Structure 1
């Protein structure tokens, strides 16, 4: 069986305070390399978001999109997106690989808040939204982008429901789905030391010398890396 016959498509899951438009440059680079990609908007983020939507709603949105995609899929989850992706794809029969891109890799019972050592509230906040938590989001999120581009992106950031950060994972897909952690070595948002810890849960680790958002600062380099990961998975499945 040829690699082309089993080539998967890619589903891109954004992180906190972003929308699917953040993937545009990467999607163009992937398309140039012959890869089909899909991107979705998580319901917990943005001006049209439901302020009561949480991580589980985001996970259901991922699962729903996967049900609409024919053929094998590699899911690429960035930052917070790793949490609902971990929850969503445990029972998704068409997901062949999960890529954590500078992302959280939770175990059962963990949330974004608990990973950072914050206590679990006695009750979920059902209505609150959270602005960007970084004192300097330009440096934290876009430190390797030119000033004008970074400042434009900071102005586009959106609020996200507090509930998304509180809800805990009940299923951990990395236990039974092959996975790769892409560690961003210059990350100033999700620090490399924490990424190192979480990457131990993945099947394989790759490294890229960028800040937190390589899909913006190095889309061609990231597209090539993701293509290599997806091609390897396709070849492995063809041999099985």
Structure 2
């Protein structure tokens, strides 16, 4: 039997580490080692380097879990990284080489995210993007309690537009060599559900869990469903 991996949670765009709170508390109750690592949301390359540093500091096997844009980050961070034993994508991108988040969002109909995003110039020709705080609850977290969704709107971290348009660097993304699991809601307004299914099936996922009625903030609104997938991944990795 293999050693149980530490779960490393990576948030995505317009979110932050506290969005994993419900997942963390439930995993901790089950004795699972878990940490949510900060994600600067500057570029896939540099954000992945930050995750690699976090993995190195753990000193044992790691199960990487990424939400949304965080999926692109863990896909890159796990490349040629022997400590990473599996990947869990939570309403997340799983890009192939040369693909980017904007391209994958627009590849299938259904996303209304672009209508709600507001830019801030950074002075170098790029912009920080955030979701209009008044529109955030309906767009990002429609199944989250309104008061909690309003807090999410006000604590969201902006993402640099360059990161969303950056082509996935690795010639061979990590999901081609590592086992993966996917969990997402069928009411996601950010990433079209058809696109999420496409990426999960293309990756040859061990399991694909669709959560009825769940929004893009599935880890906030349905933490039990997300935890169940993570626990199934741990069981698979430790008994295989």
Does residue 130 in structure 1 map to residue 129 in structure 2? yes
- The more displaced of 132-141 and 152-161 is 132-141
Q: How far off is 1:78 after superposition?
A: 0.6
* Cα deviations by residue, 1:46-104 (Å, 9 ceiling, x for unpaired): xxxxxxx3221111111111111122111111111111111111111011110111111
What secondary structure is seen at the aligned counterpart in 2 of 1:90? coil
Q: TM-score when scaled to structure 1?
A: 0.84
Q: TM-score when scaled to structure 2?
A: 0.84
**Distance verdict in 2 for CA 1:202–1:135, change over 3 Å:** farther
User: Which consecutive residues of structure 2, in runs of 5 or more, have no partner in the other structure?
Assistant: 108-123
Distance 2:226 2:190 in 1: 18
Residue in structure 2 matching 1:56, options 45, 62, 74? 45
Q: How far off is 1:134 after superposition?
A: 9.3
Q: CA RMSD in A?
A: 2.0
Q: How far off is 1:126 after superposition?
A: 5.5
Does residue 159 in structure 1 map to residue 158 in structure 2? yes
**Distance verdict in 2 for CA 1:229–1:207, change over 3 Å:** farther
Residue in structure 2 matching 1:69, options 50, 58, 70? 58
Residue in structure 1 matching 2:209, options 203, 206, 209? 206
Does residue 221 in structure 1 map to residue 229 in structure 2? no
Distance 1:10 1:140 in 2: 28
Runs of 4+ in 1 over 3 A off after TM superposition: none
**Distance verdict in 2 for CA 1:152–1:134, change over 3 Å:** closer
Distance 2:141 2:101 in 1: 21
Number of corresponding residues: 219
- The more displaced of 145-154 and 219-228 is 219-228
Distance 1:221 1:145 in 2: 14
User: Which consecutive residues of structure 1, in runs of 5 or more, have no partner in the other structure?
Assistant: 45-52, 119-124
* Cα deviations by residue, 1:180-222 (Å, 9 ceiling, x for unpaired): 1213222222221111111122232222232212221122332
Do the aligned partners of 1:10 and 1:74 also contact (CA within 8 Å) in 2?
yes
**Residue in 1 that maps onto 2:30:** 33
Distance 1:134 1:176 in 2: 39
Distance 1:225 1:83 in 2: 19
* Cα deviations by residue, 1:15-56 (Å, 9 ceiling, x for unpaired): 102221211221011101111111111122xxxxxxxx3221
Distance 2:209 2:80 in 1: 25
